[in-house]
């Protein structure tokens, strides 16, 4: 399909310092030179984000906005004069590091308040960065192989993060078609990336640190047969840009208004642990051949650690290194296609698996010396 460019559009990216938000900002600056304005918003504006914005200062008007997604006055000021919002800001938590109240206030209430600010300030388009975790895996670990947006699944979330993203996504999609202050209409859609890898991934860095402490061997917490399809961060950003172009086109609006889409790419299906190995093997990094103990016993260990965490909570915050929920995520076959996204927005992965693997491995090479030094000092 032929999609509109974003020429003359004023865009706002929330969570702009984050892994996905920063990459969306970078892609907008590279691919849309005729933007009227780009506003980048985060509670903390990272040095890397500011450097990216600085590189394009002579071509695109970039406005930096530092504030909290829960601050309604700040949100109204940020949305005034904006045409299109990419909402990526969120707390990502898979092991219970952050209290449920905080996760819900940022991921759900923050989204709700941002939508209200968009309606009040006549923002026409709203693209939400959701997560595959709104779909599952469920507590039973029921698998999905090459699922689509029409796949029927008992997706009741067993964990706070997935629940928060699901609630926020429902608010976004229900807001589609609501009347703006000026009589126009708000158009929304939601994008659900699979597990995202690439340069700068905080999760990949955690796994890398653990491997360096383990004699350059990645720990195995997922069975080989638990196939998933991770997606490269550059392809996630590309999907957001194509959705933005499509949502402004009258034909595209008809297709994607009020809908959600899975974002995957052509990364080979493999387990999470084998994915780490695929990215690190040319660096000499290995992966454990099997789980440290049988999966049912790991679940028992996780359950005991969760009980200890609960008992200690009034006195000290103990965060288990892994939980039953995380074990379920890591050990459930869970793959999806991008056919619907391709059909409705023209999406095809911009980066091949080999390109994505090479760029990610190059980043790993660049950070290993400093990570070794950091780990040595903090022994």
Angle formed at CA 248 by CA 246 and CA 250, multiple of 5 degrees? 90
Kindly list the structural domains of the chain, giving each domain's residue range(s) and its CATH number in brackets, ordered by start.
10-200+220-266+335-350 (3.40.50.720)
How many angstroms separate the CA atoms of 70 and 112, rounded?
Answer: 9
CA neighbor of 190 nearest in space, from 175, 201, 209, 210 = 175
pLDDT at 2: 45
pTM for the whole structure: 0.94
CA distance 210 to 288: 12
- Please count the helices (runs of H) and the strands (runs of E) in the chain: 14, 13
Confidence at residue 250, expressed as pLDDT on a 0 to 100 scale: 85
Which among 43, 51, 156, 165 is annotated as catalytic? 165
Q: Is 165 a catalytic residue?
A: yes
- The predicted-structure confidence for 130-155, as pLDDT tens digits, reads as follows 999 998 898 888 999 999 999 999 87
179/160 Cα distance (integer angstroms): 31
Segments in the chain below pLDDT 50:
1-2
pLDDT of 1 reads 44
Q: Is 342 exposed, middle or buried (0-12, 13-18, 19+ CB in 10 A)?
A: middle
């Amino acid at each position: 399909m032929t999609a509109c460019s974003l020429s003359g559009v004023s865009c706002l990216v929330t969570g702009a310092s984050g892994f996905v938000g920063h990459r969306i900002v970078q892609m907008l600056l590279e691919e849309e030179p005729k933007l009227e304005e780009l506003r980048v918003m985060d509670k903390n504006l990272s040095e890397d984000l500011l450097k990216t914005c600085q590189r394009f200062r002579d071509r695109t008007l970039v406005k930096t906005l530092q504030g909290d997604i829960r601050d309604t006055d700040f949100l109204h000021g940020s949305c005034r004069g904006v045409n299109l919002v990419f909402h990526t800001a969120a707390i990502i938590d898979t092991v219970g590091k952050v209290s449920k109240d905080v996760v819900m206030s940022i991921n759900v209430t923050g989204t709700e308040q941002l939508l209200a600010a968009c309606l009040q300030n006549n923002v026409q388009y709203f693209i939400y960065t959701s997560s595959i975790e709104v779909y599952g895996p469920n507590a039973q670990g029921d698998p999905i192989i090459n699922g689509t947006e029409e796949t029927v699944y008992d997706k009741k979330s067993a964990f706070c993060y997935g629940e928060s993203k699901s609630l926020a996504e429902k608010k976004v999609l229900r807001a589609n078609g609501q009347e703006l202050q000026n009589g126009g209409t708000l158009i929304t859609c939601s994008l659900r990336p699979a597990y995202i890898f690439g340069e700068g991934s905080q999760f990949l860095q955690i796994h890398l640190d653990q491997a360096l402490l383990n004699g350059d061997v990645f720990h195995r917490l997922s069975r080989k047969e638990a196939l998933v399809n991770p997606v490269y961060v550059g392809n996630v950003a590309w999907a957001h840009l194509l959705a933005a172009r499509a949502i402004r086109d009258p034909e595209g609006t008809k297709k994607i208004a009020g809908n959600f889409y899975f974002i995957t790419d052509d990364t080979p299906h493999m387990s999470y642990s084998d994915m780490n190995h695929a990215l690190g093997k040319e660096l000499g990094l290995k992966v454990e051949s099997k789980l440290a103990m049988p999966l049912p016993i790991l679940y028992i260990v996780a359950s005991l650690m969760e009980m200890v965490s609960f008992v200690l909570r009034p006195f000290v915050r103990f965060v288990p290194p892994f939980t039953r929920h995380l074990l379920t995520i890591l050990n459930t076959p869970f793959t999806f296609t991008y056919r619907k996204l391709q059909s409705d927005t023209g999406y095809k992965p911009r980066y091949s698996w080999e390109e994505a693997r090479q760029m990610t491995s190059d980043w790993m090479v660049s950070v290993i010396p400093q990570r070794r030094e950091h780990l040595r000092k903090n022994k």
